[in-house]
Structure 1
Amino acid sequence: MIKAGIIGVSGYAGVELLRLLLNHDEVEIVAIGARSYIGKPISDLYPSFYGICDMLCESDEDVLKKADMIFASLPHGLSEKYAKYCDENHKKFIDLGADFRLDEEKDYQQWYNLDYHEPALHQKQVYGLSEVNREQIKQASLIGNPGCYPTSITLGLYPLLKNHFHKNNDLIIDSKSGTTGAGKSLTEDTHFPRCNESFHPYKLATHRHTPEIEQELSKMACQDIHVTFIPHLLPVNRGIVSTIVVPLKEEVTFDMVVQKYHDVYDDEYFVRVLPVGKTADLKFVKYSNYCDISLHYDQRKHQVIVVSTIDNMVKGAAGQAIQNMNIMYGLEETKGLKMVPPSF
Structure 2
Amino acid sequence: MSTKLKAALLGASGYTGADLLRLGVLHPQLEFTALTANTHAGKPLGAVFPHLDGLGLPQLQQTDDMNWDEFDVVFCGLPHATSQAIIAEIVENHDRPRIIDMSADYRLRDPDSYQKWYGNKHIAPHLQQKAAYGLSEHYRDEIKEARIIACPGCYPTAALLALIPLAKAKVVDAADIVIDAKSGVSGAGRGLKQNTLFAEAGESLSPYAVASHRHSAELDQEISLAAGQDVVVGFTPHLIPMSRGELVTCHLKLAEGHTATDVRERLKASYDNEPFVQILEDGVFPSTNMVRGSNLCKINVFEDRIPGRVIVIATLDNLVKGSAGQAIQNFNIAFGLEETTGLQQVALFP
CA shift in 2, pair 1:120/1:216, >3 Å: same
For the residue of structure 2 that corresponds to 1:175, the secondary structure is strand
* Distance in structure 1 (CA, Å) of the matches to 2:66 and 2:308: 54
- Aligned match of 1:85: 89
For 1:214-255, what per-residue CA distance to the aligned partner results, in whole angstroms no more than 9, with x for missing partners? Answer: 101111111112112110000000011000111112311222
1:97 has 2:100 as partner: no
Rounded Cα–Cα distance in structure 2 between residues aligned with 1:299 and 1:168:
20
- Letter matched to residue 12 of structure 2: V
Q: Distance in 2 between matches of 1:63 and 1:287?
A: 31
TM-score, scaled to structure 1: 0.97
Q: Which runs of 5 or more residues in structure 2 are unaligned?
A: none
Query: Counterpart amino acid of 1:188?
Result: Q
Paired position in structure 1 for 2:345: 339
Residue in 2 that maps onto 1:310: 316
Query: Residue 64 of structure 1: CA displacement?
Result: 4.6
Amino acid at match of 2:94: N
Question: Residue 319 of structure 1 is aligned with which of 314, 325, 343?
Answer: 325
Aligned letter for 1:318? A
In the aligned structure 2, how far is the partner of 1:177 from the partner of 1:16? 16
Q: Secondary structure at the match of 2:157?
A: helix
Q: 1:3 aligns with which of 2, 6, 28?
A: 6
Aligned with 1:245 (options 241, 247, 251): 251
* Residue of structure 1 in register with 2:151 after alignment: 145
**Corresponding residue SS for 1:242:** strand
What are the Cα deviations for residues 167-186 of structure 1, in whole angstroms up to 9, with x where unaligned? 35131110000000000112
Question: Alpha-carbon deviation of 1:302?
Answer: 2.1
Q: Offset of 1:300 from its aligned partner?
A: 4.0
Say whether the 8 Å CA contact 2:13–2:48 is kept in structure 1: yes
Pick one of 217, 222, 228 that aligns with 2:223.
217
CA contact (8 A) 1:218 1:224 kept: yes
Q: Give the deviation of 1:212 after TM superposition.
A: 1.0
Identical amino acids, percent of aligned pairs? 41
Shift of 1:263: 0.6
Q: Is the 8 A contact 2:33 2:57 kept in 1?
A: no
Are 1:12 and 1:184, in contact at CA under 8 Å, matched by a contact in 2? Answer: yes
1:49 counterpart = 2:52? yes
Alignment partner, residue 61 of structure 1: 64
2:161 alignment partner AA: L
| 1:239 to 1:64, Cα distance in 2 relative to 1, 3 A | farther
Is 1:74 the counterpart of 2:87? The answer is no
Task: Answer yes or no: is the 8 Å Cα contact 1:64–1:70 preserved in 2.
Answer: no
Alignment partner of 1:193 out of 199, 210, 223: 199
**1:106-121 equivalences in 2 (<5 Å):** 106-121=112-127
Q: Deviations over 1:29-65 (max 9, x none)?
A: 1110000111110001111122224521011133453
Match for 2:24 among 21, 24, 49? 21
Q: Give a deviation string over 1:5-39, Cα, whole Å, max 9, x none.
A: 10000011111111111010001111100001111
| Partner Cα distance (1:244, 1:289) in 2 | 21
1:64–1:269 distance in 2 versus 1, CA, 3 Å: farther
Secondary structure of the residue that 1:30 maps to in structure 2? strand
The 5-angstrom pairing of residues 29-48 of structure 1 reads: 29-48=32-51
**Larger deviation: 130-139 or 55-64?**
55-64
How far apart, CA to CA, are the structure 1 residues paired with 2:67 and 2:160?
32
Distance of 1:314 and 1:168 partners within structure 2: 28
Let me know the Cα RMSD of the aligned residues: 1.2
> In the alignment, residue 68 of structure 1 is paired with which amino acid?
D
Aligned equivalent of 1:235 = 241
Distance (Å, rounded) in 1 between the aligned partners of 2:111 and 2:54:
45
Cα deviation, residue 154, structure 1? 0.3
**Superposition TM-score, scaled by structure 2 size:** 0.96
Moved more, 76-85 or 263-272: 76-85
List runs of 5+ in structure 1 lacking aligned partners: none
